[in-house]
């Protein structure tokens, strides 16, 4: 078995598996089995970042290699091209794209630096797995430095339709960069289809039925690999019930009240304002839920240095305030809005005691919260997942109540249906959903990507 080299924007702490979630567990597991290297940004900015040697740690057979960025890199690569161009663009939000040529320069510069550092740790038989939108040009940079290894890429976020992608300058360069990998993996069939259509319409390549493409005399394989969670481990944590969550749940049960839960990073792609409006609409349409249902939204801040994120935070604070002002009573707060991170065991317990999981992104690569909510339920008395049709997870989780996150009335109807759903139907839907996320968990995802990558013949770097 080849050694594995993983590169992602950030590197997870390999000593904190349970807290850091399915992706880190899956990658750490394959790294431990194969031995190898995990490289990324250390999260720091330093004026002398370009000259400093990387920080290297050895944990068993796994080496972690991290580097700092300069302030300029952080602004142009991370806040700029990655999070003000690619993130909104790939989430179909052209209105929020803020394109500046310095951003692209910074993005290229940091990818070159990653490649300069990484080549020192790569051995000839290693396979290389690059993650996400921060590092699209990395394969091209590695090839320029003589790297002939098999290199796979996985995009965690959606891939937009060709017309949207082509609105950004340098879209051809982005596509060329992706086509320099041996394997390009997407979350869903929709994303894969968008990529293949772009290749056909804008690059003039006709994909083979198995998703392979001939580009500049080499073969590139594209496929969908829906990411999963560490289902069994998450279900086990949820069944333990954090004490304070249990006390809160008992109090609600005495009052015959139900809880709806939403958990998201505070991001405009997650559809949070519409979700709050949906809860308000539920109370208008079905006043019988007044004092019987409360909505808990947990949304820790992210990327606060990007303007669009400060805007969404303000909008949510004023919406939750207005809805509570309108409906609250002295002994009932309709919306509880928590603006911080919650430990994983508590989160799992909160999912379990919530009758409805409301996951309504406007666009999402996969959405692991949807899968965590299902994993956390008590199979004898499970809650109901209400899921946006624009989350990648909707391709798999067809037994959820699937909604259009732009249609607030229809979402309110679906939440009402979820709250009223008979036990037998809840059990049937949950069993089907659980079966799916158990079969397609994080380990299965990682194995299927790596075995596909290993099955491909190594690239002739000179032809790239």
**Residues with catalytic function:** 156, 364
Among the residue ranges 59-67, 120-128, 254-262, 359-367, the one whose residues contact ligand ADQ (CB under 6 A): 359-367
Please list every residue from 21 through 40 that binds ligand ADQ, using CB under 6 A: 21, 23
Closest CA to 464 of 159, 75, 182: 182
Residue 347 interacts with ligand ADQ (CB under 6 A): yes or no: yes
Distance in angstroms (rounded) separating the CA atoms of residues 135 and 112: 10
Residue 298 interacts with ligand ADQ (CB under 6 A): yes or no: yes
Min CB(230)–ligand ADQ separation in Å: 10
Among the residue ranges 33-41, 203-211, 230-238, 263-271, the one whose residues contact ligand ADQ (CB under 6 A): 263-271
- Chosen residue from 189, 341, 398, 404 binding ligand ADQ by CB under 6 A: 341
Residue 227 interacts with ligand ADQ (CB under 6 A): yes or no: yes
- Hey, CA dihedral for 131, 135, 137, 142, is it positive or negative? negative
> What is the dihedral angle through the alpha carbons of 246, 250, 253, 259, rounded to the nearest 10 degrees?
-30
Can you spell out the DSSP letters for 128-175?
EEEESGGGTTHHHHHHHTT--SEEEEE--S----HHHHTTSTTHHHHH
Judge contact between 358 and 350, C-beta under 8 A. no
Min CB(238)–ligand ADQ separation in Å: 12
Residues 264-283, one symbol each (x = binds ligand ADQ by CB under 6 A, - = not), give: xx------------------
Q: Helix, strand, or coil here: 303?
A: coil
Judge contact between 193 and 199, C-beta under 8 A. no
Residues 57-86, one symbol each (x = binds ligand ADQ by CB under 6 A, - = not), give: ------------------------------
Residue 365 interacts with ligand ADQ (CB under 6 A): yes or no: yes
Number of residues this chain uses to bind ligand ADQ (CB under 6 A):
20
Which one, 296 or 415, has the nearer CB to ligand ADQ? 296
- Chosen residue from 49, 366, 401, 415 binding ligand ADQ by CB under 6 A: 366
Q: What angle do CA 350, 425, 238 make, to 5 degrees?
A: 20
Please list every residue from 140 through 159 that binds ligand ADQ, using CB under 6 A: 156-157
Residue 300 interacts with ligand ADQ (CB under 6 A): yes or no: yes
Token readout for 18 is: 């349970």
Half-sphere exposure (CA, 13 Å, Cβ side) for 212? 11
Residue 304 interacts with ligand ADQ (CB under 6 A): yes or no: no
Residue 263 interacts with ligand ADQ (CB under 6 A): yes or no: yes
Which one, 408 or 442, has the nearer CB to ligand ADQ? 442
Token readout for 399 is: 């037994």
- Chosen residue from 28, 67, 238, 368 binding ligand ADQ by CB under 6 A: 368
Angstrom CA distances, 110 to 136, 179, 440, stand at 11, 20, 34
Cα-atom radius of gyration of the chain, to the nearest Å? 23
Interacting residues with ligand ADQ (CB under 6 A): 21, 23, 156-157, 227, 263-265, 298, 300, 341-342, 347, 364-369, 372
């Amino acid at each position: 078995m080849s050694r594995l080299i993983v590169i992602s924007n950030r590197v997870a702490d390999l000593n904190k598996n349970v807290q850091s979630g399915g992706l880190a567990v899956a990658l750490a597991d394959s790294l431990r089995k194969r031995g190898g290297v995990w490289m990324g940004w250390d999260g720091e900015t330093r004026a002398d970042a370009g000259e400093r040697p990387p920080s290297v740690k050895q944990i068993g057979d796994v080496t972690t290699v991290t580097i700092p960025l300069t302030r300029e890199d952080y602004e142009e690569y991370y806040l700029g091209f990655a999070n003000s161009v690619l993130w909104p663009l790939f989430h179909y939000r052209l209105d929020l794209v803020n394109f500046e040529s310095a951003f692209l320069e910074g993005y290229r510069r940091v990818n070159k630096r990653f490649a300069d550092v990484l080549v020192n740790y790569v051995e000839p038989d290693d396979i290389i797995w690059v993650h996400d939108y921060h590092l699209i040009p990395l394969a091209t940079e590695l090839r320029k430095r003589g790297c002939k290894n098999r290199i796979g890429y996985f995009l965690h976020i959606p891939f937009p339709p060709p017309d949207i992608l082509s609105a950004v300058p340098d879209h051809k360069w982005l596509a060329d960069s992706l086509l320099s990998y041996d394997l390009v993996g997407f979350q869903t069939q929709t994303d894969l289809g968008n990529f293949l259509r772009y290749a056909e319409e804008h690059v003039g390549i006709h994909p083979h039925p198995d998703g392979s493409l001939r580009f500049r005399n080499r073969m590139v394989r594209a496929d969908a690999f829906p990411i999963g969670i560490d289902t069994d481990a998450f279900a086990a944590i949820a069944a333990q019930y954090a004490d304070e969550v249990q006390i809160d749940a008992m109090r609600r049960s005495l009052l015959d009240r139900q809880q709806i839960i939403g958990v998201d990073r505070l991001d405009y792609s997650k559809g949070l304002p519409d979700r709050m409006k949906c809860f308000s609409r539920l109370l208008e349409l079905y006043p019988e839920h007044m004092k019987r249902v409360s909505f808990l939204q947990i949304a820790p801040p992210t990327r606060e240095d990007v303007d669009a994120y400060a805007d969404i935070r303000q909008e949510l604070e004023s919406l939750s305030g207005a809805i509570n002002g309108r409906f609250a009573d002295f002994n009932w707060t309709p919306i509880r809005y928590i603006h911080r991170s919650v430990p994983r065991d508590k989160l799992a317990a909160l999912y379990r005691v919530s009758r409805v999981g409301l996951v309504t992104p406007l666009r999402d690569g996969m959405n692991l919260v949807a899968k965590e909510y299902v994993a956390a339920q008590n199979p004898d008395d499970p809650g109901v997942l209400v899921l946006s049709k624009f989350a990648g997870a909707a391709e798999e989780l067809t037994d959820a109540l699937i909604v259009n996150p732009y249609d607030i009335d229809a979402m309110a109807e679906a939440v009402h249906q979820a709250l009223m759903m008979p036990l037998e139907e809840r059990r049937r839907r949950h069993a089907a959903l659980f079966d799916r996320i158990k079969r397609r968990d994080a380990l299965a995802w990682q194995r299927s990507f790596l075995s596909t990558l290993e099955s491909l013949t190594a690239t002739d770097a000179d032809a790239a």
